[in-house]
Structure 1
């Protein structure tokens, strides 16, 4: 009894550290849309923003792999992960960051957070997983919430469509990626995916230039470049590392619930820094979406968050 007594404060400290780490991760991810809006205001376009983001993130994560002695998976798995990043992640990130040009950051963030619901639906259709009562309740909550959020938020039909497309593509990406990433170190997974995405965006930039389209646009001032660095180093690298550090201390269920802080951070920062107005309908809709996601998580019907190892936006 006396030997086990000192472990209680240690466990409590570990849990508190885990909560703080997941909160930092969710806040960093939540700030991504805000950084993007500042980068766009400084002259960047979606092609330049994503090219720089993935180049910086891939380089930083490769350095982390080297310092921690993390090895790449077998080359066949590397190629599969690269295909996942070069197709799924590129498509999802393009839709998400393009949506920010046509809709409020808060609206886009809340629409993206429909992805656990879409994962559940797709798993029921294609993987023949049973729809539980919890999943049906969450479906109703999220559907009503999405309707209120879209109706109460400022965004063009294109922006709303792109935001929903980002959530759907991410859902497919999770289902496919769950098998491809099994048994692979998540930091190695993310490094390969970011590298593949950087190569694809670089190739797209060259193809567009060859076709006479404008080349990727980059920020025209230091503030815009700082925003780009924030997206790559804070909202990608730091967010990933703190997520996994917190996950080790809390487990998937608690980490998943705490990760719902992310869209809340986006909504609050968008109101404070971008002057976005949050109407009653949008606030209620966002609350219903988060309630649906939390309900799925608590009832064990949703996947553990894949954002950190397969990058949500």
Structure 2
């Protein structure tokens, strides 16, 4: 039987070498290595081999099987790239097809542009958690217990932690508190991030949106510095013809306070749309973080990044920014 195995290996490998295409190689595999192939057909003959010869014959049978399997894999790889009678030759050196080109989301681009402009004005970036406690989101910002802004209907409360309720932050003003806890004046920072409010979705409102918070605390800071900073930003970002206005308002954490409006085209009509709020930091807020309001003053502002992007790129509906429609996103 050893001679038969030797002859089988020799003839099988010779036949394999003459297989010129994948179909012929596969036919060879079926003939020699298949479940009804010649090699499988020799295994019952082991029963007729003497007890003394059986180990040697079994070992040789396994060696032939390994040799044929290795030969099959090698020949299969050789003919795979040489072309077939039913198809063109494959050029493995030819460059592959280009993948679709990715784009940065319009909001990511807007955030980077805002950070760049304020960076040139001397502001550094800061960040804070999106899940906040009531002290940082309300109390330290001069919003006491019982204030309507703390009503559950206007917030996304998460639970309790260390005796205080936690919630998804409603404003990036929380970052100014955390910054002033760690860093004493002078401070000049901006913080970009997501904020959450249970608003009804429409063309200008969304329950999750982005804000850029600005804070400047130093000696002698005035409302003139605030107005100059915001108007300089508007002209740098939107161009010298940007229409911006400030109008008196009220926020618990600033005094005096103002809202910042820009002319925007909504549903075909130019309207004044609020893009953020601002004001001089309330003395109570400074005292809450250990800053002497008799020595230092400061201004703060918060701008809605979605509305800034809408004004810059002529987008009339905030919801389009979150629908992930590639036809829309590829325009920017």
Q: TM-score range by the shorter chain?
A: under 0.3
TM-score (ref. length: structure 1): 0.24
Q: Which has the higher contact order (CA 8 A, sep 6+)?
A: 1
Q: Which structure has greater helix proportion?
A: 1
Decide which structure has greater strand share: 2
